Amino acid sequence: MSYARKNAIITAAIWAVVLIGLLLSVLLPGPERFVEAEYASWRLISAVLVLPGFLVNAWLGWRTKRGKERGEMDERDDVVARHASQITLLAVGMIVFLAALLLYDVYRDAGGVPAGWLWLLAYGTVAVLSLVHAVTGLLLDLRGVPDA
Protein backbone atom coordinates (compact mmCIF):
# COMPACT_ATOMS: atom_id res chain seq x y z
CA MET A 1 0.00 0.00 0.00
CA SER A 2 1.39 3.38 -1.01
CA TYR A 3 2.32 6.09 1.45
CA ALA A 4 -0.34 8.45 0.07
CA ARG A 5 -3.02 5.75 0.28
CA LYS A 6 -2.18 5.07 3.93
CA ASN A 7 -2.38 8.79 4.68
CA ALA A 8 -5.77 9.03 2.98
CA ILE A 9 -7.16 6.07 4.93
CA ILE A 10 -5.93 7.49 8.24
CA THR A 11 -7.33 10.94 7.43
CA ALA A 12 -10.70 9.58 6.30
CA ALA A 13 -11.07 7.44 9.42
CA ILE A 14 -10.19 10.25 11.83
CA TRP A 15 -12.40 12.86 10.16
CA ALA A 16 -15.33 10.42 9.84
CA VAL A 17 -15.19 9.89 13.61
CA VAL A 18 -14.88 13.66 14.17
CA LEU A 19 -17.88 14.35 11.92
CA ILE A 20 -20.02 11.74 13.66
CA GLY A 21 -19.00 13.18 17.03
CA LEU A 22 -19.89 16.70 15.88
CA LEU A 23 -23.28 15.57 14.63
CA LEU A 24 -24.02 13.85 17.94
CA SER A 25 -22.77 16.76 20.04
CA VAL A 26 -25.18 19.16 18.33
CA LEU A 27 -28.14 16.89 17.60
CA LEU A 28 -28.37 15.17 21.01
CA PRO A 29 -29.16 18.37 22.93
CA GLY A 30 -30.94 19.75 19.85
CA PRO A 31 -29.84 22.63 17.61
CA GLU A 32 -32.41 24.93 19.21
CA ARG A 33 -31.05 24.39 22.76
CA PHE A 34 -27.39 23.89 21.86
CA VAL A 35 -26.39 27.53 22.52
CA GLU A 36 -28.19 27.85 25.86
CA ALA A 37 -26.01 28.30 28.95
CA GLU A 38 -26.75 24.85 30.40
CA TYR A 39 -25.35 23.23 27.22
CA ALA A 40 -21.96 24.97 27.36
CA SER A 41 -20.28 21.61 27.93
CA TRP A 42 -21.73 20.31 24.65
CA ARG A 43 -20.21 23.29 22.82
CA LEU A 44 -16.86 22.60 24.47
CA ILE A 45 -17.08 18.93 23.48
CA SER A 46 -17.84 19.82 19.87
CA ALA A 47 -14.92 22.24 19.74
CA VAL A 48 -12.54 19.71 21.30
CA LEU A 49 -13.66 17.00 18.87
CA VAL A 50 -12.07 18.88 15.99
CA LEU A 51 -8.65 19.01 17.69
CA PRO A 52 -7.61 15.38 16.94
CA GLY A 53 -8.38 15.94 13.27
CA PHE A 54 -6.15 19.01 13.13
CA LEU A 55 -3.38 17.18 15.00
CA VAL A 56 -3.58 14.24 12.60
CA ASN A 57 -3.54 16.62 9.61
CA ALA A 58 -0.39 18.29 10.98
CA TRP A 59 1.28 14.94 11.63
CA LEU A 60 0.36 13.66 8.15
CA GLY A 61 1.65 16.87 6.58
CA TRP A 62 4.99 16.30 8.29
CA ARG A 63 4.89 12.63 7.30
CA THR A 64 4.13 13.53 3.67
CA LYS A 65 7.05 15.95 3.58
CA ARG A 66 9.35 13.23 4.91
CA GLY A 67 7.88 10.75 2.41
CA LYS A 68 8.69 13.09 -0.48
CA GLU A 69 12.22 13.62 0.80
CA ARG A 70 12.74 9.86 1.04
CA GLY A 71 11.24 9.20 -2.39
CA GLU A 72 8.24 7.31 -1.00
CA MET A 73 5.87 9.75 -2.74
CA ASP A 74 6.20 10.90 -6.32
CA GLU A 75 4.63 13.11 -8.99
CA ARG A 76 1.66 10.77 -9.33
CA ASP A 77 0.77 11.37 -5.70
CA ASP A 78 0.91 15.13 -6.34
CA VAL A 79 -1.44 14.75 -9.34
CA VAL A 80 -3.88 12.70 -7.24
CA ALA A 81 -3.79 15.31 -4.45
CA ARG A 82 -4.33 18.15 -6.93
CA HIS A 83 -7.31 16.44 -8.56
CA ALA A 84 -8.74 15.55 -5.13
CA SER A 85 -8.44 19.21 -4.11
CA GLN A 86 -10.32 20.36 -7.21
CA ILE A 87 -13.14 17.87 -6.62
CA THR A 88 -13.24 18.67 -2.90
CA LEU A 89 -13.60 22.40 -3.55
CA LEU A 90 -16.59 21.85 -5.79
CA ALA A 91 -18.23 19.21 -3.58
CA VAL A 92 -17.86 21.07 -0.28
CA GLY A 93 -18.93 24.35 -1.87
CA MET A 94 -22.11 22.67 -3.11
CA ILE A 95 -22.75 20.99 0.27
CA VAL A 96 -22.43 24.27 2.20
CA PHE A 97 -24.52 26.15 -0.36
CA LEU A 98 -27.31 23.55 -0.29
CA ALA A 99 -27.19 23.29 3.52
CA ALA A 100 -27.54 27.06 3.86
CA LEU A 101 -30.50 27.12 1.45
CA LEU A 102 -32.14 24.18 3.22
CA LEU A 103 -31.75 25.78 6.65
CA TYR A 104 -33.15 29.05 5.34
CA ASP A 105 -36.14 27.32 3.77
CA VAL A 106 -36.89 25.12 6.79
CA TYR A 107 -36.72 28.02 9.27
CA ARG A 108 -38.09 30.82 7.07
CA ASP A 109 -41.35 31.07 8.99
CA ALA A 110 -39.55 30.99 12.36
CA GLY A 111 -37.65 34.14 11.45
CA GLY A 112 -34.17 32.70 11.98
CA VAL A 113 -32.05 29.60 11.99
CA PRO A 114 -31.17 28.19 15.44
CA ALA A 115 -27.52 28.93 16.24
CA GLY A 116 -26.83 25.24 16.87
CA TRP A 117 -27.22 24.57 13.16
CA LEU A 118 -24.78 27.36 12.34
CA TRP A 119 -22.31 25.93 14.86
CA LEU A 120 -22.65 22.53 13.19
CA LEU A 121 -22.32 24.09 9.74
CA ALA A 122 -19.08 25.85 10.74
CA TYR A 123 -17.38 22.93 12.46
CA GLY A 124 -18.94 20.40 10.11
CA THR A 125 -17.51 22.18 7.09
CA VAL A 126 -14.00 21.67 8.45
CA ALA A 127 -14.67 17.98 9.02
CA VAL A 128 -16.43 17.44 5.69
CA LEU A 129 -13.66 19.25 3.83
CA SER A 130 -10.95 16.98 5.22
CA LEU A 131 -13.11 13.85 4.90
CA VAL A 132 -14.10 14.51 1.29
CA HIS A 133 -10.51 15.30 0.30
CA ALA A 134 -9.23 12.08 1.87
CA VAL A 135 -11.96 9.89 0.37
CA THR A 136 -11.63 11.53 -3.04
CA GLY A 137 -7.85 11.13 -2.95
CA LEU A 138 -8.23 7.49 -1.99
CA LEU A 139 -10.73 6.81 -4.79
CA LEU A 140 -8.59 8.60 -7.37
CA ASP A 141 -5.53 6.70 -6.17
CA LEU A 142 -7.34 3.38 -6.50
CA ARG A 143 -8.85 4.22 -9.86
CA GLY A 144 -5.82 5.96 -11.29
CA VAL A 145 -5.60 9.50 -12.58
CA PRO A 146 -4.25 10.45 -15.99
CA ASP A 147 -1.39 12.96 -15.86
CA ALA A 148 -2.55 16.56 -15.98
- 31-49 pLDDT, tens per residue? 999 889 998 999 999 989 9
- Compute the mean pLDDT over every residue in the chain, rounded to the nearest whole number: 90
CB atoms inside a 10 Å sphere around CB 57? 18
30, pLDDT greater than 70: yes
Identity at 7, one-letter amino acid code: N
Q: Does the pLDDT at position 6 exceed 90?
A: no
CA-closest candidate to residue 53, choices 22, 92, 98, 94:
22
pLDDT tens column, 91-102:
999 999 999 999
Report which of 36, 41, 35, 51 is spatially closest to residue 117, judged by C-alpha positions: 35
Task: Answer yes or no: is pLDDT of 142 > 90.
Answer: no
Over range 109-136, report the average pLDDT.
94
> Looking at residue 145, what is its pLDDT?
67
pLDDT grade for 146, boundaries at 50, 70 and 90: low
Q: Using alpha carbons, select from 144, 9, 135, 5 the residue that is nearest to residue 79.
A: 144
pLDDT higher than 70, residue 148: no
Q: Is the model's pLDDT at 20 over the cut of 60? A: yes
pLDDT of 130 > 60? The answer is yes
